[in-house]
A and B are shown apart, each in its own frame.
Chain A
C-alpha cells in the first residue's frame, strides 16, 4: 500500500478520537468539505497541539480584520492551507505580512514589487499593442515597413548546445523574447537590474561591439554573474535593433541569485 493509502486508513480508524468538531457527518463519514487531507496529516503529526486547527473553508477568504485580530496574539495562528499565489488567500497571506510589518499602514505598504511587475506588464502590453496595431496597418501599407513591426532573427543556444532561432520584435529585450518563446532564461528581478539571472553570452564579437556600453548598474550585476565572459551582457538590457539581426546568444551553464554556487567561504 502506498504511503498516502496507509495514512488514509489510519485516519478512518481514528475517526472517533479525531477530536475536531464538525469533522464527521452524523453518519460517521468524514466531512471532507470542511477539512483538507493535509490538515489531517498535519494534525496527525501532532502539530495541532501547538496550533489551533480551524476548518478549511475554500469559499470564504479570511477577512483582513480577522487576520489582524488573529495576528494580535502571538503563536495562536491557524494552520491553514495557504497558497502564496495571487488568489484571495495568497493576498490575505501578503496582507497579514503587511499587518505585522506595518501596524497602522496595513497591507498596502507591501506594494513595491507589484508596482515594478505592473511596469513590466505595461511594457509587454505595449509591445503586443504595437504588434496588433501594425498588423492592421500592414494591410493598408504592404510595402512600407514600420519600425514597430520589424523583427530580427536571434538564435538562443541552450546549456546543452541546443539552438533555437526566434523572431524578436525591434525594441524588445532578449529577456522578454526568451520568455515569449519559452526559452529557459530566468529573470528573477523582472528586468529591474537587481540580479544576474538573465545573463547571456554574445557569441560573436562583432555583434557584441554593436551593443551600447553597459551602464555602471549593469556592470555591478554582471560582477556577480556565473561564468562571466568578455562578451557577457544582461538579457534585460540587450534591446533588439535591426543591426543585431542574426545574433547568436548562449545561455550560461548556471545562474547565481541570492547565493554563490560552489562558493567556499574563506576563513578570515
Chain B
C-alpha cells in the first residue's frame, strides 16, 4: 500500500497549489450563493485521483470534476497493484464507484496526458488541474549486468499477474530456474514472493490473470530469496503482509538468527515506531519457531537475507541471461544528526545462483508533458512545500 505514497502525495500537493492559485486569482468563495462552477480535471483515476475528487465534490457544491485516465478502465493501482489474494483491499472500489456516480463527476477513459491532450489545453478548459497519475517507472540499481535477460522490475511482474494491458506479454521465464531473487523487502517484494510460492489451489480461487495462473502452474520456482541491504528493523514491509507470508502452507522460512541482533539505534527506532517493533517481533518469532525444525518437510523455501546489497549480476555462459547475483555484506552506520542508519559495504562478498531477479527498490514518476519535473527524484517539481 505504500506504493501509493508518491502518487497521492503528488496529487494532493498539486491540487492545493492549483486551487490556491485559482482562488487567489478569482476571489472565489465557496459560500457565495451565486458562485460560478469550479471545473476540475484530475489526471489519473487511481486512489489519489478518486480521493481528491471525493474531497473536491464534498467541499465545493459548484465543483464539476472530470477524471481522465490513460487506460480505458479506472481505479489504477487498486486493480493493477493490489495482489489477487487480497480482495478485501479492493472493496474500496465501491467507494470510488459512488464518487464516480455523482452527477458532478465524469470519467474519461483512454485519454492520455501528453499524447491525446496537453497540459496547456487542460489549463484552458479547466480552472484546476490535478496530476494524480502516479509513478509508473522504477528506480535503477546502476550496477553491472542490469540489462541481462531474466532481470525484471517487480512492478512489471505485478502488472503481469494482475492482467494490466501494458504487461500482457511480459517475457517472464518461470521454467528455466528454480530460484528467484527479489531485491527489496517492502510490501511489493513480499507480494511478489508470495505469489511465486503460494499453492496453486489457493491462487486458483483469486482473480489472478489467466495467463499468469497458467504460467505459475508450469513454474519451476521453488526457492525465493528476499534480499535487503539493511536489517529486520529497517525492513519496509508491514506486519500484516509479513504475518501472511510467514504463514503460507507448504513453505519453509529461513531466517538467520545472527541477523536479528539489534543495536541501540535499532532499539530507538522500534521504540518510536510501533509498526517496526511488531515487524521485528514477527521476525524473531519466526526465526525461533523455524530453528526448532531440523528437517524441512516442505518443498518450497523462503529465505530472508539481511545486510546484503547487490554488487553485480553474474551472466550465464552465453552472456545473455542472468545466472546469479553477487552480494556485498553490509553493516549499519548511524547518522548522528538524523539517527538514520545507512548500509555501508564491508568488502566481503557472497553469491546466489538464480535465473530470475525481480527488483523491488522503489518507483519513479514519468514526465509526460512540459511541466517542471525533477528527473533525479522522479517527481513533479513543486515550488512550494504544502502539507494538506
Contact = CB atoms under 8 A, between A and B. Distances in A.
B97 interface: yes
Interface string A109-120: 111110111000
Nearest to A187: B95
Kindly state the interface size class of chain A when it binds its partner: 35 or more
B8 A84 contact: no
Interface of A is mostly: loop
Interface string A82-111: 111111001001101100111111000111
Interface in B7-62: 7-9, 36, 39, 47-48, 51
A147 interface: no
A45 interface: yes
A262 B385 CA distance: 11
Nearest to A76: B110
B289 interface: no
A220 B207 contact: no
A202 B6 CA distance: 32
Interface stretch (A135-143, A159-167, A192-200, A240-248): A192-200
Given A192-B88, A224-B275, A263-B9, A77 B109 contact: yes
A47 B116 contact: yes
B274 A217 contact: no
A45 B125 contact: yes
A104 B210 contact: yes
Contacts, number: 178
Contacts of A190: 91, 94
A190 B89 CA distance: 9
Most chain B beta-carbon contacts within 10 A, residue among A84, A113, A265: A84
A224 B163 CA distance: 28
Nearest to B162: A101
A41 interface: yes
A190 B1 CA distance: 17
A84 B74 contact: yes
Contact of A112 (B168, B207, B243, B343): B207
Contacts of B110: 51, 77-79
Interface string B268-289: 0000001100100000000000
B278 A113 contact: no
A257 B97 contact: no
Nearest to A217: B240
Given A45-B117, A100-B168, A101-B207, 15 more contacts: A2-B36, A50-B115, A71-B72, A81-B108, A82-B107, A84-B75, A84-B96, A111-B207, A189-B92, A192-B91, A193-B88, A219-B239, A258-B1, A258-B51, A268-B342
Interface of B: 1-2, 4-9, 36, 39, 47-48, 51, 66, 72-75, 77, 79, 86-98, 100-101, 106-112, 115-117, 121, 125, 162-163, 165, 168, 206-207, 209-211, 229-230, 238-240, 243, 274-275, 278, 340, 342-343, 387-388
17 contacts: A42-B111, A77-B72, A81-B106, A82-B72, A83-B100, A85-B97, A86-B101, A111-B207, A219-B278, A220-B239, A257-B92, A258-B1, A258-B51, A259-B7, A259-B8, A266-B340, A268-B343
